[in-house]
Structure 1
Amino acid sequence: MQLGVVGLGRMGRIVVERTLAAGHDVVAFDVDEEATAAAADAGAAPADSLSDLADRLGDGKRIWLMVPAGEAVDAALADLEPHLDGGDVVVDGGNSHFEDSVRRADGTEAAYLDCGTSGGPAGAELGFSLMVGGPAWAYEELVPVFDAVATGPEGHDRMGPSGAGHYVKMIHNGVEYALMQAYGEGFELLHEGRYDLDLEAVARTWNNGAVIRSWLLELCEEAFREEGSDLGDVADHVAGGSTGTWTVQEALEREVPVPLIHQALAERFASRRDRFSRRLANRLRYGFGRHEVARRE
């Protein structure tokens, strides 16, 4: 199969390399010429524009977009649209909102597959988990590539019609927020608790047979090994939040309680600012009990 890949950052480059390793041909393009050149060094045919990429693919185009969610996806589609017809397939492998994916599927002549992608840069070696929405025939057309990019045939599936792939990935990320929060709270209690513990040893022991073993726990073990049990100079700041916000918004609309995910999202936002509410509570304790007021340096 011949696949066009647009967007050659960390994740896009993995799509290119795993597709090539499976024996398929790749035409690659990125607005960053150095990224395109690196893909060419890996064995892909470089394109100097989206129209050039489309021309190189010929009829029955199979194109994988791995560009940032939002305007970049719409811009890429707008440039590709004159070159697409109903026999072509476009995969959006970014973290697009599922409603945007439905809109794009309705507005694009080609078959549009929204592909939630999980696994991060570790997917270079292991392969991704792919959650795909869109027409069944288009999904079946891309199965050889999905087999290559995912961990294998069990690492991908069609979740349903347009939007379903990114919907499942959205909620996957909400679950991820809650799991990270649970591990964080548990290790914080261990760190502040009664014993002087080696948290790397705790995580390693839990990872060997314990009920709560997981890849995230393996990453906890890695963090304590590399940063120390006190996490060294790692900042109290957690970036990201869009997919968690979407998950909570969807839960509110569907009237489904998700207190753990909601609290994890709130904690993530709280990490980014000097909270006015905490400052007021600090001052109120002086008001009713004449407790000392902690002042900022």
Structure 2
Amino acid sequence: MQIGMVGLGKMGGKMAERLRRGGHDVVGYDRDPAVSDVSSLKELMERLQEPRAVWVMVPSGPPTHATIEELGNLMSPGDILVDGGNSHYVDDQKHGAALGAKQIGFVDCGVSGGVWGLENGYALMVGGSTENVERLMPVFDTLKPEKDGFVHAGEIGAGHFAKMVHNGIEYGMMQAFAEGWELLEASDVVTDVPGAFKSWRTGTVIRSWLLDLLVRALDEDPALEELEGYAQDSGEGRWTVQAAVDHAVPLPVITAALYARFASRQDDSPAMKVVAALRNQFGGHAVTSKEGSVAKGADSPGADVVPPVEAQK
């Protein structure tokens, strides 16, 4: 099958290569001319035979919006556009409606597999009409792993909704591994922390690819001394928590994992300043100033504390 691939970065480039290895005719476009087959989206459209299929793999948000809008002005009725980036499912519904008005098909596809997908295949979560999804099945069959790894999750938006929840679960699993590692490191009982994680890889209920990747990271840097305790988020965790609020579904683990990422970016957490100040006020717990000195607790001799009104009676 012939397909255009827009965005040939870490994911898009390897996906294009996997498709070529599978016998597909891939015409790629990227802003980097060194990896691009054509010089513009217009030339890409001219190279593809109608009815055309174009897969977009660019960063979510404004880059995706702009790319889809430009392609929508270049495509013809009967063409199909696939958004394979990490877009918000609400945006999919808007894009699908705008393209549908021009009789251009739209399919959203959540893709998981990272840099390993070229060899192992990509998990694909797809949203769109049955007709459009079936037309693209030769591409999906080549990209996915040999077993499982594909779902037609529902109508437009369903693919990215499923991927959003997948990434939310990933947040929670990663946070659990991270907290376990920190506790093991803090303990003076366990002296081989990397070995403990390796021992869990076979025969345990927490064996997983994430565990394998953590063991790999610990092999390279046993105490993770080369890394800073800062974790970015790419948006899906926030969208998952927001969707939970919209649907009144409690997500305590995923929400806590998202907030932990926010906390990782604060060298001197404002929220913890408030907590420390309140603990000092109501419980007399000592606090540490920026200069490193220990401030007097509320029950320390000489501390200027005004008791609650009830206590004064």
| Fold similarity call, TM over 0.5 | yes
Structure 1: distance between partners of 2:194 and 2:265: 26
Are residue 75 (structure 1) and residue 66 (structure 2) matched? yes
**Normalising by the residue count of structure 1, what TM-score does the alignment of the two structures yield?**
0.92
SS in 1 for 2:54: strand
Superposition deviation, residue 193 in structure 1: 1.8
Shift of 1:155: 1.8
Pairing 1:101–2:95 present: no
Provide structure 2 residue ranges, at least 5 long, that are not aligned to the other structure. Answer: 293-313
In structure 2, distance between residues paired with 1:30 and 1:97 = 22
Q: Which runs of 5+ in 1 are unaligned?
A: 37-45
Equivalent in the alignment of 2:284: 289
- For 1:177-256, list aligned pairs within 5 A: 177-228=171-222, 230-256=223-249
TM-score if structure 2 supplies the norm length?
Answer: 0.87
| Equivalenced residues, count | 287
1:269 aligns with 2:257: no
Compared CA separation, residues 67 and 290, structure 1 to 2 (3 A): closer
- Highest CA radius of gyration, 1 or 2? 2
Label 1:78 to 1:285 Cα distance change in 2 as closer, same or farther (>3 A): closer
Query: How far, CA to CA, are the matches of 1:125 and 1:198 in structure 2?
Result: 32
The answer (yes or no) to whether the contact 1:282–1:294 under 8 Å persists in 2 is: no
- Separation of aligned partners in 1, 2:168 and 2:212: 20
8 Å CA contact retained: 1:4, 1:57: yes
1:34-82 alpha-carbon deviations (Å, 9 max, x no partner): 231xxxxxxxxx1111010011102110111001111112211222223
- Per-residue deviation, 1:286: 5.3
Question: Which segments of structure 1 move beyond 4 Å, counting only runs of 4 or more?
Answer: 283-288
Distance 1:102 1:82 in 2: 18
Cα distance, 1:233–1:82 mapped onto 2, change above 3 Å:
closer
RMSD of the TM alignment (CA)?
Answer: 1.7
- Please report how far the alpha carbon of residue 85 of structure 1 lies from its aligned counterpart in structure 2 after TM superposition: 2.8
Q: Which residue of 2 aligns with 1:159?
A: 153
One-letter amino acid of the counterpart of residue 124, structure 2? L
Q: What is the CA–CA distance in structure 1 between the aligned matches of 2:226 and 2:66, rounded to whole Å?
A: 40
Q: How does 1:23-62 map to 2 (within 5 A)?
A: 23-36=23-36, 46-62=37-53
Q: Which moved more, 1:195-204 or 1:251-260?
A: 195-204
The structure in which a higher percent of residues are helix is 1
Name the aligned partner's letter for residue 78 of structure 1: E
TM-fit CA distance, 1:294: 4.7
C-alpha distance in 1 between matches for 2:243 and 2:220: 37
1:168 to 162, 165, 175: 162
